[in-house]
Structure 1
Amino acid sequence: MNHPHPMTTSAVTTLRGLIRDEGYDRHREQLRRIFSADIFHRSARVNSHERAALTYQRMRHISDGLAARGPLVKDRTRLRAVLEWSALADPPLFYAMFLHHFATVGAVLDFGRERDDLDGPLAELASLRSIGALCMTEAGRGNSNIAVRTQAVYDPASRQFLLSTPDAAAMKFPSNVGVDGLSRLCIVTAQLIAGGKERGQFCFLVRLRNQEGPAAGVRIVPKSLTQPLALDCASVSFDAVRLPFSSWLSDSASLSESGEFHDPLEQDQRLRRTVSIMRFSWESAITALAGITRASASLAVQHAHRRRTSGPMAADLPVIRYRNQQRALFSALAGGYVAGFIAKNLPAVPLTAQHDEGALRQTYLMKVLVDRLAERVTARSRTACGAHGFYGENRFLDYQVLAHSFNAAAADNQILLLDAAYALLVGGDYTPPVDDVVPAAGRSLTEPALWSALARSRERRLFEALASSLAEVPGHEGDLFAFWNSRLAPAEELAEAHAARLAAESVQASVESVTDPDLRRCLQQLCAIHFLEEVAVHDGWYLSEGLLSAQEVRHIPALLDELCQRVAPHALGLCEALDVPFEAVGAPMSRPDYACADALKPFGSPV
């Protein structure tokens, strides 16, 4: 293997530009100052209550350091940078941050736009005098938010709403509102009842508690903090809580003083509009998950260059010399770049009511894809680091838990895939891609154009196979549940293929944008490791469809080894270009003297 050598400054700068938002560097020094403060370092052991309270102390510290004027959600580049650093430093802090800035403030700006009576609450939230949260999911409904049973009954006599929880199954859970001593303004989704009729699901801005305790009629039951992700989760229920009329985030709907209701949207459209609040969570999740993916890969690859081992076949070698380590770690490194490209290339979700369904679908599918990628990369990186990988202060376990949590958080991944498949089949806003794979003769599996072409062909053929079965139930007559229930697996496959194609095209565009031929070749070889592994998962399908030849399938393992050999000399430079802020990560293993640091400084990293 060639000895590793540093990548040129211009090359590092070029690669950084493919994963960093324009304008990120304006905030770097400020973030470094904020996250290097003592509040992010452990000086003594803390109990569960203190740990939960620390999340909000850190949140206020960040707010004070940023000194932002107005809602951060309007400065998307800055907020995304803050969320990334928060996820790297303290995953529970990241949850509190995105639920406040995106899910709460974003919902008020969207559903309550152009309303002067919300200026006061927005100022409270912007200054963190009150902290936001989201009370959406109900205990008896799992991860489904489309049939909430919490009720907001309009009382025309007082022009107020009575917010009630009809039974235990309708309690809001889990919501991060368990810490006392804080003022909390939260988004609560509820079924609006006016004139004795259900009018649809809406968002309400509710003051759950002040510094003295829960508001009248609000019952908050904190849960144990022993769960892997140390959030102050609680169940929340309401007993005829009186809400002022201004708490209703009415969007385009209206209610007269007498109770006459008007909404230009049908109830199913209203439901989709309200549930679209999740789009803020998807963008946040992608930002955080891409960050921990890049950090895990970079940390592990650098460690493998320092970690030395001896054996009967070779003495005192860095473990990165071993091909099995290269396969695992260069795959992780490629995953870090793929996640970074996706996060950079994904447009910011709109704050206003004008949503493009295709763009929203792309956002939540990228949440699913990057989440699965983060799970794989964090696990491989931890495993490759031996005992140091299991050591909590080196952060791999924290990052794995964050990735695991997003299987369900910000909407369940499987539900999102099935919703996407249904929309692709019957939504009317989708055209399947062309099936244009070039013949096998003379082509190379390392070409980005071929990754995209294979992904397009797989998506097109899975779509056609599933769409053709629609003819079995003309006009969707008969037992629709039985029809879809027997097709859930191919529907999920279709959505996964659609997401994979979007990702492949995003990565292809990033790679081909590099003008320096040597650097482009280096990046292409790294990303080829990722896509060859993706293709290998479905190689039997590609073979049966005639999209790959038997010779190509047999050659994939040898080609992966060859790519690892070519990437190896550049691995440390590729890590540097991932631009991981290790001052936020705080892992002792990130330092060259990690062995002494671990032994001599037991409480030196973020808690």
Structure 2
Amino acid sequence: MRGRFSQAWSDVLRGSAFPHEGQAFLEQVFSADVFRPRPDHGGREERFALTYERLRHINDRVREAGSTVPLVQDRERLFPLLAWSAVADPALFYAMFLHHCMTTGAVLEFGAGREDLADVLEELAATERVGALLMTELGHGNSNASVRTVAEYDADREEFVLRTPEPAAVKFPPAVAAEGVPRLAVVLAQLVVDGAECGEFCFLVPLRDADGPLPGVGVRPLQPSPWLPLDGAVVSFDGVRIPYRFWLRDNAVLTADGGFTDPFGSPAIRARRTLSLIRFAWEAAVVGLAATAGASAAVAVRHAHRRRTGGRFAAGRPVIRYRNQQRALFGALSGAYVARLVAAATAGPEAPALTPRSVRTTFLMKVVTDRIAERVSARARTASGALGFLAANRFLDYQGFAHSLNAAAADNQMLLLDGAQALLAGTAYTPPADEAPAAGDRDLLDPATWETLAAVRERILHQELADGLRKATGSGLAPFDAWNGLYDLAERLAETHAARLVLGTVREAVREVAGSDPVTGPEAAGILRDLLALHALEELAGHDGWYLAEGLLDADEVRGIPALLDRLCERLEPYAEELAEALGVPYPLVGAPIAGEDYVGGLAGTAPSSGTA
């Protein structure tokens, strides 16, 4: 359904990293039979084999298209492929970003300019081996700060000996258990030279060939999660010898006699440098989550226009006419738009400079988008009634994907606390100025008001956290005890900082649409603002007691938010399908029967179930 405003909305959602000319390539890649929706994937090994067959298919099409650089460096092609992969199969998304972003990314990041790794890059580009990332360890949760896997340098043979010194140090839970899939892993290990620990480095380690794990590599398969069917495993090493060239040494140096030097000067700084690799995962996560949020919202909104109700007051009306459904569905649609705007701002065509601010912003956007995607898929599923729980309609797939990313690419709570500590330390950060909107001047439908209120909250929380830490340390508390009583406040500070950045992105999107066309732009921007206001007002309502206590909102404003949400829903109803279609969801790839015009016939077996209009 293309309407008067679809193009303007689609353009702002697409962002500069998703060029229009790439659409035909995506359709060509994902129209292959290997991507035919399969609600029943068969047994575990068949499911794993399908994931890696799909990965190889994408890689083959990219190479046939004449790509001359690794996909991780071709961001205008990488991000759309990741987005469609997530919609097609969240497990494929994981395989894609681990192979291209984390494995190839590690070789390029820490082996830059090294001709002796050219064959490795070619193997990965051809999918002769599938890449994997082995960072976290079973006994250390999601923290990479205390990795105990050891890579000890053997100066006589100019090799490294990789071993797992204790059960707690087994790598957990990398997706490397699938039979018949040759694997090349990036393994994070503690470098030991002449008995001394020299810091955490990445090493390239062949794990298995088509016949199984290689000598010295232990792979114990784990039961796949029903939320995300990956071939997870516990991996251990027993004297695995690694050629010197497979050490991704970055700018560190080992001399022929075993002397070690590292320009970073300390193992702690080296660890931070090595872990900077994870930023590739944050960007990928934002893109994938935004794509599945969009698919969830669009399918549910489309279905709600066709699903008829037997309600006592107006039997036969589509459920989209009901205000409670509108609040759920338009709220989901609003969240999906916000997630897509965040993705467009985060995953641009040019990689951002690696600065403390850019790194912090990227990982906070991962947290924000994950929470939005989880909420959107849950709302879309619930609003779709019993059919929402049907696996073929994909809501459970997408909700499980968002669940899984709570802890993947660093745990969300840990990222919030890291962000708060950096904000408090003033690392590339200055708290917002004290500029609260005056009483009577507030327009709760003005994006500038949303951003200003978030900025005031951020400034106050920052001051509270600074005062609390100063008081705690002043009373003689050790750092752990001082922070231990402030973690909740710290999380709220990081959440509010992230929310302010998101609202700035939202405000800019409305401004961009307003200027997109002199005739239709202002009206298109007004509709977009109404949609995004649902997200902003729900965020505001979540803290309305705080705003009321601080005098930033009055009682009438707080009491009036539900009625304001209803008025927005009423204004948005005529445009709901057009707003959903502007998300550009590839419905055949989703394969949800309820997205079809005749979903009853599709599910009853009396009509084709194509998931298309």
TM range (shorter): over 0.9
Structure 2 CA distance for partners of 1:351 and 1:208, relative to 1, 3 Å: farther
> Are residue 20 (structure 1) and residue 14 (structure 2) matched?
yes
Quote the offset at 1:33 in angstroms: 2.1
Once residues 47 and 171 of structure 1 are traced to their aligned partners in structure 2, the CA distance between those partners, rounded to angstroms, is 27
**Which stretch of structure 1 is more off in the superposition, 579-588 or 53-62?**
579-588
CA RMSD after TM alignment: 1.9
Structure 2 CA distance for partners of 1:160 and 1:476, relative to 1, 3 Å: farther
Q: State the AA in 2 paired with 1:306.
A: R
Once residues 603 and 285 of structure 1 are traced to their aligned partners in structure 2, the CA distance between those partners, rounded to angstroms, is 34
> Are residue 147 (structure 1) and residue 146 (structure 2) matched?
yes
Quote the offset at 1:471 in angstroms: 2.1
> Are residue 64 (structure 1) and residue 57 (structure 2) matched?
no
Runs of 4+ residues over 4 Å off in structure 1? 42-45, 347-352, 473-478, 601-606
Q: State the AA in 2 paired with 1:70.
A: V
Structure 2 CA distance for partners of 1:509 and 1:244, relative to 1, 3 Å: same
Question: Conserved in 2, the CA contact under 8 Å of 1:30 and 1:66?
Answer: no
Quote the offset at 1:182 in angstroms: 1.8
Which digits, 9 at most, give the CA deviation of each residue in 1:252-297, with x for residues without a partner? 1111111111111122211111111111110010000000111111
**Residue in structure 2 matched with residue 184 of structure 1 by the alignment:** 183
Which digits, 9 at most, give the CA deviation of each residue in 1:475-519, with x for residues without a partner? 897411111111111011111011111101111111111222111
**Residue in structure 2 matched with residue 576 of structure 1 by the alignment:** 581
**Residue in structure 1 matched with residue 544 of structure 2 by the alignment:** 539
**Residue in structure 2 matched with residue 275 of structure 1 by the alignment:** 275
Give SS of 2:305's match: helix
Matched ranges for 1:153-172 at <5 A = 153-172=152-171
**Which stretch of structure 1 is more off in the superposition, 476-485 or 50-59?**
476-485
Question: Conserved in 2, the CA contact under 8 Å of 1:393 and 1:605?
Answer: no
Give the length in aligned residue pairs: 599
**Residue in structure 1 matched with residue 307 of structure 2 by the alignment:** 307
Matched ranges for 1:555-594 at <5 A = 555-594=560-599
Matched ranges for 1:432-511 at <5 A = 432-473=431-472, 478-511=477-510
Question: Conserved in 1, the CA contact under 8 Å of 2:598 and 2:607?
Answer: no
Residue 29 (structure 1) aligned to one of 10, 24, 44: 24
Once residues 284 and 537 of structure 2 are traced to their aligned partners in structure 1, the CA distance between those partners, rounded to angstroms, is 29
**Residue in structure 1 matched with residue 375 of structure 2 by the alignment:** 376
> Are residue 548 (structure 1) and residue 543 (structure 2) matched?
no
Give SS of 1:154's match: strand
**Which stretch of structure 1 is more off in the superposition, 514-523 or 342-351?**
342-351
In structure 2, the gaps of 5 or more residues are: 516-520
Question: Conserved in 2, the CA contact under 8 Å of 1:433 and 1:456?
Answer: yes
Once residues 553 and 597 of structure 2 are traced to their aligned partners in structure 1, the CA distance between those partners, rounded to angstroms, is 44
**Residue in structure 2 matched with residue 50 of structure 1 by the alignment:** 46
Structure 2 CA distance for partners of 1:40 and 1:487, relative to 1, 3 Å: same
Once residues 604 and 103 of structure 1 are traced to their aligned partners in structure 2, the CA distance between those partners, rounded to angstroms, is 37
Structure 2 CA distance for partners of 1:462 and 1:226, relative to 1, 3 Å: closer
Once residues 500 and 282 of structure 2 are traced to their aligned partners in structure 1, the CA distance between those partners, rounded to angstroms, is 19
Quote the offset at 1:351 in angstroms: 6.7
Question: Conserved in 2, the CA contact under 8 Å of 1:35 and 1:583?
Answer: no
Structure 2 CA distance for partners of 1:601 and 1:124, relative to 1, 3 Å: farther
Question: Conserved in 1, the CA contact under 8 Å of 2:75 and 2:349?
Answer: no
Quote the offset at 1:7 in angstroms: 5.9
Question: Conserved in 1, the CA contact under 8 Å of 2:596 and 2:610?
Answer: no
Structure 2 CA distance for partners of 1:479 and 1:443, relative to 1, 3 Å: closer
> Are residue 38 (structure 1) and residue 66 (structure 2) matched?
no
Quote the offset at 1:563 in angstroms: 0.7
Give SS of 1:317's match: coil
Once residues 357 and 388 of structure 2 are traced to their aligned partners in structure 1, the CA distance between those partners, rounded to angstroms, is 40
Question: Conserved in 2, the CA contact under 8 Å of 1:308 and 1:318?
Answer: yes
Structure 2 CA distance for partners of 1:602 and 1:248, relative to 1, 3 Å: farther
Once residues 188 and 314 of structure 1 are traced to their aligned partners in structure 2, the CA distance between those partners, rounded to angstroms, is 61
**Which stretch of structure 1 is more off in the superposition, 363-372 or 419-428?**
419-428
> Are residue 394 (structure 1) and residue 390 (structure 2) matched?
no
Matched ranges for 1:245-284 at <5 A = 245-265=244-264, 266-284=266-284
Quote the offset at 1:25 in angstroms: 2.2
**Which stretch of structure 1 is more off in the superposition, 528-537 or 222-231?**
222-231
Structure 2 CA distance for partners of 1:192 and 1:476, relative to 1, 3 Å: farther
**Residue in structure 1 matched with residue 518 of structure 2 by the alignment:** none
Once residues 519 and 351 of structure 1 are traced to their aligned partners in structure 2, the CA distance between those partners, rounded to angstroms, is 30
Once residues 120 and 311 of structure 2 are traced to their aligned partners in structure 1, the CA distance between those partners, rounded to angstroms, is 65
**Residue in structure 2 matched with residue 3 of structure 1 by the alignment:** none
Which digits, 9 at most, give the CA deviation of each residue in 1:195-215, with x for residues without a partner? 211000111111111122212
Once residues 251 and 502 of structure 2 are traced to their aligned partners in structure 1, the CA distance between those partners, rounded to angstroms, is 35
Question: Conserved in 1, the CA contact under 8 Å of 2:469 and 2:486?
Answer: no
Structure 2 CA distance for partners of 1:587 and 1:58, relative to 1, 3 Å: same
- Structure with the larger RCO, 1 or 2 (CA within 8 Å, 6+ apart): 1
Once residues 272 and 194 of structure 1 are traced to their aligned partners in structure 2, the CA distance between those partners, rounded to angstroms, is 20
Q: State the AA in 2 paired with 1:58.
A: R
Give the TM-score, by structure 2 length: 0.95
Once residues 200 and 336 of structure 1 are traced to their aligned partners in structure 2, the CA distance between those partners, rounded to angstroms, is 41
Quote the offset at 1:128 in angstroms: 0.6
Give SS of 1:192's match: strand
Q: How many percent identity over aligned positions? A: 51
> Are residue 138 (structure 1) and residue 137 (structure 2) matched?
yes
**Which stretch of structure 1 is more off in the superposition, 233-242 or 576-585?**
576-585
Question: Conserved in 1, the CA contact under 8 Å of 2:596 and 2:609?
Answer: no
Give SS of 1:276's match: helix
Question: Conserved in 2, the CA contact under 8 Å of 1:526 and 1:563?
Answer: yes
Question: Conserved in 2, the CA contact under 8 Å of 1:109 and 1:351?
Answer: no
Which digits, 9 at most, give the CA deviation of each residue in 1:426-466, with x for residues without a partner? 25321111221211214310000000001101111100111
Once residues 519 and 350 of structure 1 are traced to their aligned partners in structure 2, the CA distance between those partners, rounded to angstroms, is 28
**Residue in structure 1 matched with residue 525 of structure 2 by the alignment:** 520
Quote the offset at 1:350 in angstroms: 7.7
> Are residue 298 (structure 1) and residue 294 (structure 2) matched?
no
Q: State the AA in 2 paired with 1:391.
A: L
Matched ranges for 1:277-426 at <5 A = 277-348=277-348, 355-426=354-425
Once residues 211 and 315 of structure 1 are traced to their aligned partners in structure 2, the CA distance between those partners, rounded to angstroms, is 60
Once residues 523 and 422 of structure 2 are traced to their aligned partners in structure 1, the CA distance between those partners, rounded to angstroms, is 42
Once residues 512 and 403 of structure 2 are traced to their aligned partners in structure 1, the CA distance between those partners, rounded to angstroms, is 33
Once residues 87 and 467 of structure 2 are traced to their aligned partners in structure 1, the CA distance between those partners, rounded to angstroms, is 46
Q: State the AA in 2 paired with 1:151.
A: V
Q: State the AA in 2 paired with 1:86.
A: S
Q: State the AA in 2 paired with 1:183.
A: P
Question: Conserved in 2, the CA contact under 8 Å of 1:369 and 1:499?
Answer: yes
Question: Conserved in 2, the CA contact under 8 Å of 1:203 and 1:250?
Answer: yes
Question: Conserved in 2, the CA contact under 8 Å of 1:18 and 1:341?
Answer: yes
Q: State the AA in 1 paired with 2:565.
A: L
Once residues 132 and 24 of structure 1 are traced to their aligned partners in structure 2, the CA distance between those partners, rounded to angstroms, is 28
Give SS of 2:172's match: strand
Structure 2 CA distance for partners of 1:349 and 1:153, relative to 1, 3 Å: farther
Give the TM-score, by structure 1 length: 0.96
Once residues 196 and 286 of structure 2 are traced to their aligned partners in structure 1, the CA distance between those partners, rounded to angstroms, is 39
